[in-house]
Amino acid sequence: MSTAMNFSSKSFRPRAPDKGSFPLDHFGECKAFKEKFMTCLKDNSYDNSLCRLQSKEYLECRMDNQLMAKEPLEKLGFKDLLDKPSQENQVKP
């Protein structure tokens, strides 16, 4: 019985990675942000709702270093953490 495979009958078509899949940080560009986030999780009994600011900063670092696709932070669930213009800086009519 022959177990040889014929790979020429099928063509390989590369596809984009699934949403949520992104390259590993091989060069440690965002290591400090990751460590800060992991420390926050550990200090807060792994309650990620208490570490949202650190999570936001980590994801911003990954996007800035092209380790994941750029996404609006609102879409990632950080709308409430975005810098809002203060009432003092707004021009009154």
**What is the structure's pLDDT at 23?**
76
Paired tokens of 49? 């709702």
Give the whole-angstrom CA distance, residue 9 versus residue 14.
16
Residue 87: band (very low, low, confident or very high) from pLDDT cuts 50, 70, 90: very low
Is the model's pLDDT at 6 over the cut of 90? Answer: no
Paired tokens of 2? 């022959």
Is the model's pLDDT at 75 over the cut of 70? Answer: yes
Tell me the whole-structure pTM to 2 decimals: 0.66
* Per-residue pLDDT tens over the stretch 41-66: 999 999 999 999 999 999 999 999 98
